[in-house]
């Protein structure tokens, strides 16, 4: 869901807070407040705002000291200082110390709007620049939704470390893509990442697959086998569907991760390894722990850096981008002339809930590319379950419902259908995002 931009007002004078809050809420910003420097820092910890309006003169920790703390703890957070007439020199000093701008009391409504709009425009430009840079750096992970950008930020921070990573997400959300992105940007990028699908290997063979075995270790072991841990020495080991690993094997895995040493099945020699572990699961491992199906100590060891991938239905704004990407990919791969997706086909793609997530979307576009007769993907080229979607209508309108009530019903149902995505809802309804936000705020006060 697209959220309103958030502004923190920090001032010890209630009247000042009231004036600023009323003006900012009129412009559809979300407002939070604090009456002291310490309270402001606590508020920022709890709920990071997009902009801080900070009074210079406050009892206790004043504005300049608070500004210094903000700059150290939240570099890049924009701060506009609030200053009384006659204290301009201190405001200028604050800008030299890192404040973005200052706003002079007594406030004029148009000055508040101009200063806030200027600061937030700068904030948006910085966010867009950071977002574009991340998206360009990790082109294998397609999407521009805020959720995907947050995932890219985590990858950027952890790729260069040796920390274990646990990727959560439904099947088809791209867990292996994220693992490969981490590996390709790590110190082990010159070696191939080793992959083990714990759900695809029979339980009685998984131990040998991971740790190898000596000749004669068990019936059928006619030669020595090198396991995945040894093959991944000096590289990354991706343990996909870790939640399906038998409990009996989890203790040995935990020891291998903690001690960075293994023993082959049937062997006595300790083999030292240096392996970076990335694991993934579509299971709720906390529930599995409660059910006795997963070791708690292994969970905490793996979950040092958690990454959660949302389902495609929870980030619908990426459906169109992904569809275009897969269209180009498969049209080129199969030498097909398909270049566009018709609007009716796009609408169906947006309405469908994608239980198979990105993987299902890719297969659906591949099918459409192969079945299309010309340059355009039409609804008839999509899988039957997508074609069968009926356009949602609202025929049961009670007699006596006013136009305003009908409008409200349409907006709220469309928003619900779009899983709270305000941008997409506004596009479908043919109104601006600001107009939609205004109506939603109006409904909240009814």
Q: Which of 141, 143, 144 shows the shortest CA–CA distance to 155?
A: 141
Q: Say what the pTM is.
A: 0.65
For the sheet containing 275-281, what is the strand order?
A: 194-197, 235-240, 275-281, 165-169, 305-309
pLDDT at res. 436: 87
H or E element at residue 416: helix 403-417
Q: Does 403-444 match 314-387 at the fold level? A: no
Q: Report the C-alpha gap between 125 and 118 in whole angstroms.
A: 11
CATH of 314-387, one of 1.10.8.60, 3.40.630.10, 3.40.50.300, 3.30.70.260: 1.10.8.60
Contact 413, 351 (CB under 8 A): no
- Token pair listed for 182: 């981490």
Residue count of the chain: 446
Please state the φ and ψ torsions of residue 215, each to the nearest 5 degrees.
Answer: -60, 130
Cα three-residue angle 288-293-298, rounded to 5 degrees: 85
Check residue 194 and report its DSSP letter. Answer: E
Burial of 333 (0-12, 13-18, 19+ CB in 10 A): exposed
Report which secondary-structure segment, H or E, holds 126.
helix 109-137
Which residues on neighbouring strands pair with residue 280, listed in sequence order? 167
Burial of 383 (0-12, 13-18, 19+ CB in 10 A): middle
Q: Where are the domains of the chain?
A: 6-129, 146-310, 314-387, 403-444
Tell me the β-bridge partners of 82.
Answer: 55, 103
pLDDT of residue 144: 82
pLDDT value for 134: 63
SS3 of residue 278 by DSSP:
strand
Find residue 34's DSSP bridge partners: 10
- Provide the token pair at 161: 């470390």
The predicted pLDDT at position 393 comes to 45
- SS3 of residue 30 by DSSP: strand
Q: Cα(298)–Cα(250) distance, rounded to whole angstroms?
A: 7
Q: How many CA atoms lie within 13 A of 231 on its CB side?
A: 16
CA-to-CA distance for 56 and 62, rounded, in angstroms? 6
Q: What is the pLDDT of residue 394?
A: 43
> What is the C-alpha separation between 129 and 149, in angstroms, rounded?
12
Contact 368, 333 (CB under 8 A): no
For 146-310, which CATH superfamily applies?
P-loop containing nucleotide triphosphate hydrolases (3.40.50.300)
**DSSP 8-class letter at 5:** P
**Per-residue pLDDT for the chain (446 aa), expressed as one digit of tens each?**
345 789 999 999 999 999 999 888 888 888 999 999 999 999 998 888 999 999 988 988 998 999 999 988 888 889 998 887 656 777 778 888 888 888 888 888 788 888 898 988 888 877 776 666 666 666 778 888 888 888 998 998 999 999 999 999 999 999 999 999 999 999 999 999 999 999 999 988 999 999 999 998 888 888 999 999 999 999 999 999 999 999 999 999 999 999 999 999 998 899 999 999 999 999 999 999 999 999 999 999 999 999 999 999 988 889 999 999 999 999 999 999 999 999 889 989 998 999 999 999 999 999 999 999 889 999 999 999 998 875 444 445 555 667 777 888 888 888 887 778 887 788 788 787 778 888 888 887 66
- Region 6-129: CATH code: 3.40.50.2300
* Architecture category of domain 403-444 in CATH: Orthogonal Bundle (1.10)
Burial group, residue 46, by CB count within 10 angstroms (0-12, 13-18, 19+): exposed
Angstrom distance (rounded) from CA 255 to CA 253: 5
């Amino acid at each position: 869901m697209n959220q309103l931009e958030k502004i923190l007002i920090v001032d010890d004078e209630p009247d000042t807070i009231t004036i600023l809050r009323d003006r900012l809420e009129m412009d559809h910003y979300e407002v939070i407040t604090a009456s002291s420097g310490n309270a402001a820092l606590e508020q920022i910890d709890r709920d990071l705002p997009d902009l801080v309006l900070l009074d210079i003169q406050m009892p206790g920790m004043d504005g300049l000291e608070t500004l210094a703390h903000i700059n150290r703890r939240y570099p890049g957070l924009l701060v506009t200082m609030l200053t009384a007439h006659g204290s301009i020199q201190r405001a200028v000093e604050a800008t030299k110390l890192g404040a973005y701008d200052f706003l002079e009391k007594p406030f004029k409504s148009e000055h508040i709007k101009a200063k806030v709009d200027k600061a937030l425009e700068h904030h948006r430009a910085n966010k867009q620049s950071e977002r574009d840079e991340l998206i360009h750096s990790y082109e294998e992970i397609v999407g521009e939704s805020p959720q995907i950008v947050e995932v890219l930020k985590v990858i950027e921070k952890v790729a260069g470390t040796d920390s274990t990573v646990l990727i959560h997400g439904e099947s088809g959300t791209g867990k292996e893509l994220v693992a490969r992105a981490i590996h390709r940007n790590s110190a082990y990028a010159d070696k191939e990442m080793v992959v083990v699908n714990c759900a695809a290997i029979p339980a009685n063979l998984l131990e040998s697959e991971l740790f190898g075995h000596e000749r004669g270790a068990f019936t059928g072991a006619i030669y020595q086998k090198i396991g995945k841990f040894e093959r991944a020495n000096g590289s990354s080991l991706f343990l996909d569907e870790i939640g399906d690993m038998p409990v009996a094997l989890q203790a040995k895995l935990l020891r291998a991760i903690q001690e960075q040493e293994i023993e082959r099945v049937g062997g006595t020699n300790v083999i030292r390894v240096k392996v970076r572990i990335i694991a993934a699961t579509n299971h709720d491992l906390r529930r599995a722990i409660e059910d006795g199906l997963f070791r708690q100590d292994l969970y905490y060891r793996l979950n040092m850096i958690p990454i959660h991938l949302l389902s495609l239905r929870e980030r619908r704004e990426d459906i169109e981008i992904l569809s275009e990407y897969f269209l180009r990919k498969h049209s080129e791969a199969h030498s097909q002339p398909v270049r566009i997706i018709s609007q009716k086909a796009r609408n169906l793609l947006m309405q469908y809930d994608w239980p198979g997530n990105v993987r299902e979307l890719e297969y659906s576009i591949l099918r459409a590319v192969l079945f299309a007769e010309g340059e355009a993907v039409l609804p008839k080229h999509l899988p039957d379950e997508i074609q069968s979607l009926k356009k949602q209508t609202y025929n049961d309108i009670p007699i006596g419902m006013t136009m305003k009530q009908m409008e409200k019903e349409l907006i709220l149902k469309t928003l619900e259908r779009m899983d709270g995505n305000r941008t997409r809802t506004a596009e479908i309804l043919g109104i601006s995002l600001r107009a939609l936000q205004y109506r939603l705020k109006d409904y909240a006060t009814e």
